[in-house]
Amino acid sequence: MSPFSDGIRFSVLDRSRTREGEDPAQALRATVRLAQEVEALGYHRFWVSEHHGVPGVAGSAPTVLAAAVAAATSEVRVGTGGVMLPNHRPLVVAEQFGVLESLFPGRIDMGVGRSVGFTDGVRRALGRDKDAADRFGEQLAELLGWFTGEQTAHPRVHARPAEGLRVPPFVLATGDGAGIAAAAGLPLVIGDLRGRERLLRAVETYRAAFRPSPWAAEPYVVVAGTVAVAATEREARRLLVPEAWSLAYSRTLGVFPPLIAPERIEGLSMSEKQRGFYEAGLDGHVHGTEEQVAEALERAVKETGAQEVMVTTSTYDRAALGESYRRLARAVGLTPPNA
């Protein structure tokens, strides 16, 4: 019997990473196909992300991509991990999720975060500055008010078709996100699984400060992190290589590149600084065989008291990516052991 038979949910976040030699359209279509695979495996949610001006990431418009995912699936919940609220007007975000919920009732999640564009150029293009993140709490309150009809900033305006709809909101715990989620009485998505002590402190603070709201009567914690599963621990670690190199490359050369094959990376000559970032990018993630990963995730759930685990994996080989999610589904009891 699975150690997660007590109702723990498992979900997937995909960032629409591009691979060397493929265009963004291929990556976006692959995300939709992955959502269909994830749904068939029994995962609870499938979320997409928001990145602007990043060469290696095709997902720049999460609500648009969520619509494509929801149209191609029928049961899995679909959402955003997340819409970066400082980049948008709350009214527009409410309208977008109102449309999604109207088209796919009962299946849409509204995950929001407080990050702004990564570079000065992107922030200028978005019409935002670094300080925009400091207004996240106010923006969140306005966003929720558009759904309840209680926002006061624009008393003569109503969000159509959002007003009156119930789209479950989630807050990503970047910066003071955990405190803001607790004060607003909203579910919290927090990672990553590598920083266990920091993670536990944040979850404890969130639960202690949580105030019940019309959106959530009790604290709800989703722990998120990178998870890779393969036949052997070595093979699972190898799945992490492409993303680790992309991170090292971006931190030393200022560009986040598409993923490349691990065999190419293993033959590269890295600078000492790149090697340090690369090794750090490989360390600490949950990876291994089905048994090893199940044990690690069971421990994380027990330590945090989380109700849900959201996993993400970025690797060059899409077939290996799908196999990782299949193995994880078996490991945590979403599918039978022989499936």
Distance between CA atoms of 228 and 328, rounded to whole angstroms?
A: 8
- What φ, ψ does residue 221 adopt, rounded to 5°? -115, 125
Q: What is the mean pLDDT of residues 227-248?
A: 97
Closest by Cα among 72, 30, 24, 28 to 318:
30
pLDDT at 118: 64
Q: What is the mean pLDDT of residues 246-269?
A: 92
- What φ, ψ does residue 47 adopt, rounded to 5°? -115, 155
Least-confidence region, from 15-24, 169-178, 213-222, 265-274: 169-178
Does the structure show a pLDDT above 50 at 269?
yes
pLDDT at 5: 55
Does the structure show a pLDDT above 70 at 112?
yes
Q: Amino acid identity, residue 309?
A: V
Q: What is the CATH number of domain 9-231+287-331?
A: 3.20.20.30
Task: Please report, for residues 100, 117, 135, the alpha-carbon distance to residue 87 in angstroms, rounded to integers and kept in the order given.
Answer: 19, 8, 11
Does the structure show a pLDDT above 80 at 3?
no
Its pTM stands at 0.94
Torsion of CA 31, 23, 274, 278, to 10 degrees: 20
CB atoms within 10 A of CB 213: 13
Does the structure show a pLDDT above 60 at 11?
yes
Least-confidence region, from 23-32, 60-69, 188-197, 230-239: 188-197
Least-confidence region, from 31-35, 63-67, 247-251: 247-251
Does the structure show a pLDDT above 70 at 147?
yes
Closest by Cα among 326, 335, 337, 338 to 12:
326
Task: Compare 325 and 175 and report the one with higher pLDDT.
Answer: 325
pLDDT at 116: 72
Distance between CA atoms of 223 and 300, rounded to whole angstroms?
A: 8
Q: Contact 82/146 with Cβ under 8 angstroms?
A: no
Q: Contact 78/109 with Cβ under 8 angstroms?
A: yes
Does the structure show a pLDDT above 90 at 1?
no
Q: What is the mean pLDDT of residues 88-94?
A: 95
Q: What is the mean pLDDT of residues 263-267?
A: 91
pLDDT more than 90, % of the chain? 76
> pLDDT tens across 182-217, in order?
999 999 999 877 768 888 999 999 999 999 999 999
Q: What is the mean pLDDT of residues 321-328?
A: 98
Does the structure show a pLDDT above 50 at 239?
yes
Q: Identify any residues that bridge with 221 across adjacent strands, giving them in sequence order.
A: 188
DSSP collapsed to 3 states, the chain: CCCCCCCCEEEEEECCECECCCCHHHHHHHHHHHHHHHHHHCCCEEEECCCCCCCCECCCCHHHHHHHHHHHCCCCEEEECCEEHHHCCHHHHHHHHHHHHHHCCCCEEEEEECCCCCCHHHHHHHCCCHHHHHHHHHHHHHHHHHHHCCCCCCCCCCCCCCCCCCCCEEEECCCCHHHHHHHHCCCEEECCCCCHHHHHHHHHHHHHHCCCCCCCCCCCEEEEEEEEECCCHHHHHHHCHHHHHHHHHHHHHCCCCCECCHHHHHCCCCCHHHHHHHHHHHCCCEEECHHHHHHHHHHHHHHHCCCEEEEECCCCCHHHHHHHHHHHHHHCCCCCCCC
pLDDT at 110: 97
Torsion of CA 256, 261, 267, 269, to 10 degrees: 0
Q: Amino acid identity, residue 11?
A: S
